Amino acid sequence: MKTPKGLQPLLDDGVIDEVLRPLKSGKEASVYVVRSGDAVRCAKVYKDLATRSFQARVQYQEGRAVRGSRQARAIGKASRFGRREAEDAWKNTEVNVLFQFAAAGVRVPRPHGYFNGVLLMDLVTDEHGDSAPRLGEVDLPPEVARLFHHELIGDVVRMLCLGWIHGDLSEYNVLVAEAGPVIIDFPQVVSASGNNNARRMLLRDVHNLRDCLARFAPELADTHYGEEMWLLYEKGELKPDTALTGKFVFDQRRANVKAVMLSIEDARQEATIREQGRKEAEACD
């Protein structure tokens, strides 16, 4: 096959020895099967994204650390420099968290490095050595569905204990490898402590897994692991080996609307004061 432009520098530098075939192509990246020495791996070549995609990613990037105040301001203003910085941060985040997750025992493709905008990692295979199918493409016996659910919930907990939420976890981001489920695609990971949407995204991830696997093990539909783990996380009591029950008692009390509105107004005034202080500081620069 013709060598993709993004992989030519890796061939020239001897990082990979051959491009075998394309594996998949999406809006944000194309993935190829490559040979590196005797190992067959996959190479994820990131695409440059349009402004529309940049805007759609803002909700995920809230709370992420950036290199400095200048970069943070530029990203916030969505200037050309800011979009370029956000694009680099978007790619680098997946690389960084993959190394973190692999070290913590989360089942992810083992990364082998980031070269010229290309992420090199293990190729996830099934029991026949072929590229592993997605979770949504297989039928499972009830006992296997329960086991997969237990393993995936454990991985979600381990990621949360590291301060991260996948943010887009579903049957399409889980591969069924010979040894069990493997979670993929992390550029949109969410900061658990710094993103106002963190709880909602965690619950969406967990509910997506639950709904998928409940097709084979219907009793899973009545579980609430996401709510349970988030409550423990907020209390500082969630550990990687915490034994969850899937049970959760929902608060049925009526909200004090007046108190909530007063809190919102206090927050609005504080934000106004901070914004004024920021503008005065920029004027002095």
* CATH code (residue 87): 1.10.510.10
Lowest-pLDDT choice from 48-57, 126-135, 166-175, 199-208: 48-57
Q: Is residue 129 part of a domain?
A: yes
- By C-alpha distance, which of 106, 107, 123, 133 is closest to 43? 123
Tally of structural domains, the chain: 1
DSSP string, the chain: -PPPGGGHHHHHTTS-SEEEEEEEE-SSEEEEEEEETTEEEEEEEEPPPPHHHHHHTHHHHTT---S-HHHHHHHHHT-HHHHHHHHHHHHHHHHHHHHHHHHTT---PPEEEEETTEEEEEPPB-TTSSBPPBGGG----HHHHHHHHHHHHHHHHHHHHTTEE-SS-STTSEEEETTEEEE---TT-EETTT-TTHHHHHHHHHHHHHHHHTTTSGGGGG--HHHHHHHHHHHT---TT----S--PPP-PPP-HHHHHHHHHHHHHHHHHHHHHHHHHHHH-
Q: How confident is the model at residue 78 (pLDDT cuts 50, 70, 90)?
A: low
Q: How confident is the model at residue 50 (pLDDT cuts 50, 70, 90)?
A: low
Lowest-pLDDT choice from 13-22, 199-208, 239-248, 264-273: 264-273
The pLDDT assigned to 84 comes to 65
Q: What is the mean pLDDT of residues 171-194?
A: 95
Q: Is residue 246 part of a domain?
A: no
Q: How confident is the model at residue 60 (pLDDT cuts 50, 70, 90)?
A: low
Tell me the C-alpha distance between 232 and 284, whole Å.
44
Tell me the C-alpha distance between 105 and 179, whole Å.
14
Q: Is residue 255 part of a domain?
A: no
Residues of the domain holding 106: 5-235
pLDDT exceeding 90 applies to what percent of the chain?
Answer: 65
Q: In the predicted model, is pLDDT for residue 72 greater than 60? A: no
Q: Is residue 285 part of a domain?
A: no
Q: How confident is the model at residue 74 (pLDDT cuts 50, 70, 90)?
A: very low
Most confident region among 74-78, 90-94, 124-128, 277-281 by mean pLDDT = 124-128
Q: Is residue 202 part of a domain?
A: yes
The pLDDT assigned to 75 comes to 47
Task: Please indicate whether residue 282 or residue 238 has the higher confidence score (pLDDT).
Answer: 238
Q: Is residue 91 part of a domain?
A: yes
Q: In the predicted model, is pLDDT for residue 261 greater than 50? A: yes
Q: How confident is the model at residue 66 (pLDDT cuts 50, 70, 90)?
A: low
The pLDDT assigned to 51 comes to 44
Q: Is residue 279 part of a domain?
A: no
CA angle centred on 45, ends 101 and 168, rounded to 5°: 45
The pLDDT assigned to 233 comes to 98
Q: Is residue 118 part of a domain?
A: yes
Q: What global pTM score does this model have?
A: 0.79
Q: State the average pLDDT for the chain.
A: 88
Tell me the C-alpha distance between 60 and 88, whole Å.
14
Q: Give bridge partners of residue 114 from the DSSP assignment.
A: 119
Q: In the predicted model, is pLDDT for residue 170 greater than 60? A: yes
Q: What is the mean pLDDT of residues 12-37?
A: 93
The pLDDT assigned to 70 comes to 55
